[in-house]
A and B are shown apart, each in its own frame.
Chain A
């Protein structure tokens, strides 16, 4: 599949910290998950791709537009929907007004068409009935959907979502997953998250990032496969396990290098993710 977003050799330093270290990637239409621990550089990568901060080195294109020039940057921004971590909202605005405001900043200047588009995205995120309500009177989940509607307004081809499900209750998270899946139809979505379940349920591709580098790029199944034969059950916590915890049945689920004859279990995406991170930690320790 042709890449809609591609980056090559992105570097960015904050003081002495390498926030991005030679990051290259290729995104295709659909939802791509971006997993990584805190401080891995996920948010920095998203901000670079969203043209919020420029990289020190490297290049990228979004839907064929190169942000290296002023015009190109504007074109990238025209194609972009960005939902940052803990997005700011204007509590005194109604949901409609806020999304309308964002639509104006996206240069949708024709009033009739803009209002039609605002109503459309609010319907899309299931806020049509409360669009006239002040944001300060909406629940946390509704506010997050207002922010998503603001990101979706103007029908951007590239949607950047930075941990959009943080702080939502399970029901809201499920609702949000539906919306993200819907948003991923026909557009490129990059979803940064700590929730491996989100990735497993939503994403056709996944990137794992740590220490400013991309450690893995592939499908969720490929990431899960990395843990094949490396998850087992035992009555005690296995001493050689990278991680192990008592499950609801009373037995221990261990991840790592199993002893011979171990009772192997079916791996999950989370197991593959944990082992990928652990492998890089081991590399660093060896180095």
Chain B
């Protein structure tokens, strides 16, 4: 009989069977705790909303730009979905971890076979099924996008991993908080505190790169730009490493705080800290000189990165990930040219894909018009309004000669250009509204195009609207017959209306007359 004192001589040798049994029980407890988490309304509601919304989007046929996703953006788009689920798990895992203390069952449970530190491990593991569900949802969302006929680009596994890692991080943090501050109020206060802290840190450091990447989910604000994968410049792999290290660090700290102070756990915590720091340093580097140079080149000299194909009489140059889209562009060009007259009907065009990459994903600056005759800009987004906008750009070049003559195209030629852009469109009136900034089909408005758009007066709008309501063949014949007059610089809208046989708008004033 040996002493059972406060400093017992611990036996180092623990039978393997005991270990196996102990870990089997930890996993059983983790399953129990995971089931119990589902009883918490915040977890249940956010999970149902997250999965339900994802399922709805999965089976719902998207039109417009959604049908032409860029996968280098689609991967990042999966990260915000589990945001609320993570917060709910953080609060509820914290409550589950504190349950025993709150209900006074510690006294019974402390003399049971499973040690408190193993119970902590089980609490951390209880979030794993939710992370697995998140991973499935993320995979489903991304696969659905990748399987769309119009999908282009490449996704990043590291970006896709952020959602599930975020869920695990929330769980580990909730457990650690419970072990450090044994109060159920700590978690809600912690959520608010973290939000306030992130605002202050962001403001205090002027949104520096190293602080920008500290939160688990890092969105890109303000930008509407789709960049080629190589130019994205997000340190996604470093960030995934940072999150992985942080999860392990928080989980191991929680285990250490629960009394599991073995050497291997301490070493594991030190290793996790090293991982976290390595990830944090790696992700804080910002854009490398090579990336900056590549972005500059893609913005000012895209031809160096692009390959071109000929379709019909025209040439289509695209960044490698978009080369499959040349057919869509050619369809629009052919449709617009089929309505044109004179040499414009057979004029070879060079359609050049262009992007403003110098400001990264956050940039939202307009692309300057091309000055070379019969070159047309097409952006990196496609589908929806981008299609008629491109048609406007093509029509504009066929009528005016090049993109840079934006100021000149405010006379009667606007009518011709808009007819070319929309006349062959299956839904011309809808697209007339779509390309106008205010979505109107009456009055004056600004018309969008890939580079500089054009302004339509109320009178020009009236004429275009009337043309779009008339039989296409009849208008096309008139346009072809009077092509030279209709595209002559300075031709008035009233003259164009008379030539095309529409009602002459009253008091119509073109730019030259104003």
Q: Does A176 contact B (CB under 8 A)?
A: no
Of all chain A residues, the one with the shortest Cβ separation from B105 is: A88
Q: How far is the CA of A65 from the CA of B108 in the complex (A)?
A: 20
Inter-chain contact A107/B5, CB cutoff 8 Å: no
Q: Which residues of A contact B103 (CB under 8 A)?
A: 88-91
Inter-chain contact A107/B22, CB cutoff 8 Å: yes
Q: How far is the CA of A102 from the CA of B103 in the complex (A)?
A: 14
Of all chain A residues, the one with the shortest Cβ separation from B27 is: A109
**Smallest beta-carbon distance B40→chain A, Å:** 10
Q: How many residues of A contact B (CB 8 A)?
A: 51
Q: Which residues of A contact B110 (CB under 8 A)?
A: 52
Given contacts A59-B4, A70-B11, A100-B32, contact A77 B105 (CB under 8 A): no
Inter-chain contact A68/B112, CB cutoff 8 Å: no
Inter-chain contact A66/B15, CB cutoff 8 Å: no
Given contacts A66-B1, A71-B15, A90-B105, contact A50 B28 (CB under 8 A): no
Inter-chain contact A58/B4, CB cutoff 8 Å: yes
The residues in B between 70 and 125 inclusive whose CB is less than 8 angstroms from any CB of A are: 99-100, 103-114, 119
Among the listed stretches A78-86, A221-229, A243-251, which one makes contact with chain B, having 4 or more residues with CB under 8 Å of it?
A: A78-86
The residues in A between 51 and 101 inclusive whose CB is less than 8 angstroms from any CB of B are: 51-52, 54-61, 66-74, 77-78, 80, 82-84, 86-92, 100-101
| Consensus secondary structure, chain B interface | loop
Of all chain B residues, the one with the shortest Cβ separation from A110 is: B24
Inter-chain contact B8/A77, CB cutoff 8 Å: no
Q: Which residues of B contact A54 (CB under 8 A)?
A: 4-6, 8
Q: How many residues of B contact A (CB 8 A)?
A: 38
The residues in B between 47 and 63 inclusive whose CB is less than 8 angstroms from any CB of A are: none
Q: Does B506 contact A (CB under 8 A)?
A: no
Q: Does B304 contact A (CB under 8 A)?
A: no
Q: How far is the CA of A68 from the CA of B106 in the complex (A)?
A: 22
Picked from A70, A72, A100, A104, the residue with its CB within 8 Å of the CB of B25 is: A104
**Smallest beta-carbon distance B123→chain A, Å:** 13
Q: How far is the CA of A6 from the CA of B112 in the complex (A)?
A: 20
**Smallest beta-carbon distance B513→chain A, Å:** 79
Of all chain B residues, the one with the shortest Cβ separation from A8 is: B1
**Smallest beta-carbon distance A55→chain B, Å:** 6
Q: Does A105 contact B (CB under 8 A)?
A: yes
Q: Does B514 contact A (CB under 8 A)?
A: no
Q: Which residues of A contact B104 (CB under 8 A)?
A: 86-88
Inter-chain contact B1/A59, CB cutoff 8 Å: yes
Q: How far is the CA of A173 from the CA of B496 in the complex (A)?
A: 105
Q: Which residues of A contact B109 (CB under 8 A)?
A: 102, 105
Q: Which residues of B contact A69 (CB under 8 A)?
A: 2, 8-11
The residues in B between 12 and 68 inclusive whose CB is less than 8 angstroms from any CB of A are: 13-15, 18, 21-22, 24-25, 27-29, 32, 39
Q: Does B3 contact A (CB under 8 A)?
A: yes
Q: How far is the CA of A195 from the CA of B309 in the complex (A)?
A: 97
Q: How far is the CA of A59 from the CA of B107 in the complex (A)?
A: 22
Q: How far is the CA of A59 from the CA of B4 in the complex (A)?
A: 5
Inter-chain contact B4/A89, CB cutoff 8 Å: no
The residues in B between 105 and 164 inclusive whose CB is less than 8 angstroms from any CB of A are: 105-114, 119
Inter-chain contact A88/B14, CB cutoff 8 Å: no
Q: Which residues of A contact B5 (CB under 8 A)?
A: 54-58, 68
Q: How far is the CA of A66 from the CA of B379 in the complex (A)?
A: 77
Q: Which residues of A contact B6 (CB under 8 A)?
A: 54-56
Inter-chain contact B28/A68, CB cutoff 8 Å: no
Inter-chain contact A68/B108, CB cutoff 8 Å: no
Picked from B4, B29, B100, B106, the residue with its CB within 8 Å of the CB of A104 is: B29
**Smallest beta-carbon distance B127→chain A, Å:** 18
Inter-chain contact B25/A109, CB cutoff 8 Å: yes
Inter-chain contact A52/B112, CB cutoff 8 Å: no
Q: Which residues of B contact A104 (CB under 8 A)?
A: 25, 28-29, 32, 114
Q: Which residues of A contact B9 (CB under 8 A)?
A: 68-69
Inter-chain contact A77/B113, CB cutoff 8 Å: yes
Q: Does A133 contact B (CB under 8 A)?
A: no
**Smallest beta-carbon distance A133→chain B, Å:** 15
Inter-chain contact B113/A70, CB cutoff 8 Å: no
Given contacts A88-B103, A90-B103, contact A72 B11 (CB under 8 A): yes
**Smallest beta-carbon distance A65→chain B, Å:** 11
Inter-chain contact B21/A71, CB cutoff 8 Å: no
The residues in B between 180 and 210 inclusive whose CB is less than 8 angstroms from any CB of A are: none
Select the residue from A52, A83, A107 with max chain B CB neighbours within 10 A.
A107
**Smallest beta-carbon distance B8→chain A, Å:** 5
Q: How far is the CA of A209 from the CA of B5 in the complex (A)?
A: 21
The residues in A between 106 and 153 inclusive whose CB is less than 8 angstroms from any CB of B are: 106-111, 114, 147, 150-151
**Smallest beta-carbon distance A5→chain B, Å:** 12
Q: How far is the CA of A54 from the CA of B5 in the complex (A)?
A: 5
Inter-chain contact A105/B107, CB cutoff 8 Å: no
Q: Which residues of B contact A110 (CB under 8 A)?
A: 24
Inter-chain contact A107/B114, CB cutoff 8 Å: yes
Q: How far is the CA of A68 from the CA of B113 in the complex (A)?
A: 15
Q: Which residues of B contact A70 (CB under 8 A)?
A: 8, 10-11, 14
Q: Which residues of B contact A100 (CB under 8 A)?
A: 32
Q: How far is the CA of A54 from the CA of B25 in the complex (A)?
A: 25
Of all chain A residues, the one with the shortest Cβ separation from B112 is: A105
- Residue-wise interface mask of A (231-271) relative to B, using a CB-CB cutoff of 8 A (1 in contact, 0 not): 00000000000000000000000000000000000000000
- Would you list the 7 A-B pairs with minimal beta carbon distance, nearest first? A88-B104, A69-B11, A88-B105, A109-B24, A105-B112, A68-B2, A107-B25
Give 15 pairs: A residue, B residue, CB < 8 Å, sorted on A: A54-B5, A58-B5, A60-B1, A68-B2, A68-B4, A69-B9, A69-B10, A70-B8, A73-B8, A90-B99, A91-B103, A92-B39, A104-B28, A106-B112, A111-B28
Given known contacts A84-B107, A107-B24, what 19 new A-B pairs fall within 8 Å (CB)?
Answer: A54-B5, A54-B6, A55-B5, A58-B5, A59-B2, A68-B3, A70-B10, A70-B11, A71-B13, A74-B18, A78-B113, A86-B104, A88-B107, A102-B109, A104-B29, A105-B25, A106-B112, A107-B22, A109-B21
